[in-house]
Structure 1
């Protein structure tokens, strides 16, 4: 069985691989350390630098430092809006 730190390092390496392979416009969820916990950014990858990725979420643009990334994965498109009830 792997040690928790090895598992964390593997998850982080996989996440950074996902982020480097993703194309601009791909929909992703990125979990990054934030204070004493973690925070998710779910949305479209709109920019990438050597140090950050930018995710356009429903609440606006979020720049995430790669040094803070814990996990990342591609996600399917959002479901279509539900029709309004009469």
Structure 2
């Protein structure tokens, strides 16, 4: 099977960037069940999904829209401070 065939000895971190929330939950669970002890990071659109991903074993889950909004605000702040 796929999960048993993975060679994760050298892998330090996994970023789960797929769109399907269930795929992220299943992938996280399978990684942990296979003994992966590295960092698992994911994104989610909604807080309840982020919580489910973390409950499955992810170390960090970022709320996509919140992070996008924070990045946008940071960029606007830099633009406002730049000479015109």
TM range (shorter): under 0.3
TM-score scaled to structure 1, two decimals? 0.26
Greater CA radius of gyration, 1 or 2? 2
Indicate the structure with greater strand content: 1
Indicate the structure with greater helix content: 2
TM-score scaled to structure 2, two decimals? 0.26
